[in-house]
Amino acid sequence: MLLMNHINSNGNKFNDTKITFGTIEDYFATVNERMPINKNNYPILEGDFMPYADVYVDSISSYWTGYFTTRPYFKSLSRELQHWLRSTEIFFSLTRNFLRQRLKINYLNVSLDREYAIITNARQNLALFQHHDGITGTSKDYVMEDYGRRLSHSINSTLITLAKIVQYLNLDIDSINDVNNTEQFIFTTAYRSDWRTFTQQHLLKVPSDQDGLRLLVLNSHTQLRIESIKILADDPFIQIIDIENEKKISFQINPNF
């Protein structure tokens, strides 16, 4: 209000500008007053509503200005990190409370604190990408590359952390003196080799002995889900057995090129 009074009281400094409060109705009423009698002469915008941006790299436009059409790969990368981060957070909370309340194990807190630091870093990178020039994909190329490296790094670190956390739930606590010296025996099938590539699956090498290879399937949802699961195996002559009831599970083999 002070600014309005100052401008209105000093017309000689501000070209006789007068500022008042108004409504949307006042705005359109003023527009109609200033337009010619023929109201069909309103300016019309025609053409593509999602043009290329005016930020040019190597003489070409860097991106589309439309939210849903701009750099969809980075949007997918963000959603993937969100997926793995959510699962890791859930199992981290479950593991920490299980070890502390049911097994009365406290010496794992140091290890879990390190895992939590990785989770926190992934949260920060995901939150950073929610910037209005991040998730929209309208940043310059080198900025988007930094976003991509951060998201991809967080996906890989979150996958490793998730495997470690799940392993804590499967440890024989009574026979372990130092969890830091325990060899990792649970790994995720997903991995990223580079921030420019999509997430891939490790090729599972099935041993020829009777023990075979154990496949642990995690459901981070609060209800039972029935869906197909895809894995890569190096041998088509295999069988999958439910370890709880020792029943064979039907599966389909497809060649992978």
Looking at the predicted structure, is the pLDDT value of residue 189 above 80?
yes
CA distance 31 to 25: 10
Whether 192 is covered by a domain: the verdict is no
17 and 109 together in one domain: no
pLDDT at 78: 96
Whether 232 is covered by a domain: the verdict is no
pLDDT band at 105 (very low <50, low <70, confident <90, very high): low
18 conformational bin, left if phi > 0, alpha if psi -120 to 50, beta if neither: beta
24 and 78 together in one domain: no
pLDDT band at 100 (very low <50, low <70, confident <90, very high): confident
Whether 198 is covered by a domain: the verdict is no
Last residue of a domain, one of 182, 211, 237: 182
Whether 238 is covered by a domain: the verdict is no
15 and 83 together in one domain: no
Looking at the predicted structure, is the pLDDT value of residue 226 above 70?
yes
Pairing of strands 203-204, 248-249: unpaired
CA distance 223 to 186: 24
Give the CATH number, domain containing residue 95. Answer: 1.20.1270.50
pLDDT at 38: 62
- Domain extent at residue 95: 71-182
Least-confidence region, from 74-78, 95-99, 131-135: 95-99
pLDDT at 252: 93
84 and 165 together in one domain: yes
pLDDT at 206: 85
pLDDT at 51: 56
Instruction: Phi first, then psi: give them for residue 26, nearest 5 degrees.
Output: -60, -40
For residue range 30-85, list pLDDT tens digits in order: 888 887 666 666 777 776 665 556 555 566 656 666 667 778 899 999 999 999 99
- pTM for this prediction: 0.72
Looking at the predicted structure, is the pLDDT value of residue 23 above 70?
yes
Mean pLDDT of the chain: 84
- Burial label for 182, CB within 10 Å (0-12, 13-18, 19+), is middle
Count of domains forming the chain: 2
Q: Check if the beta carbon of residue 171 is closer than 8 Å to that of residue 179.
A: yes
37 and 110 together in one domain: no
Question: Hey, which of 52-61, 102-111, 177-186 has the most confident mean pLDDT?
Answer: 102-111
167 and 129 together in one domain: yes
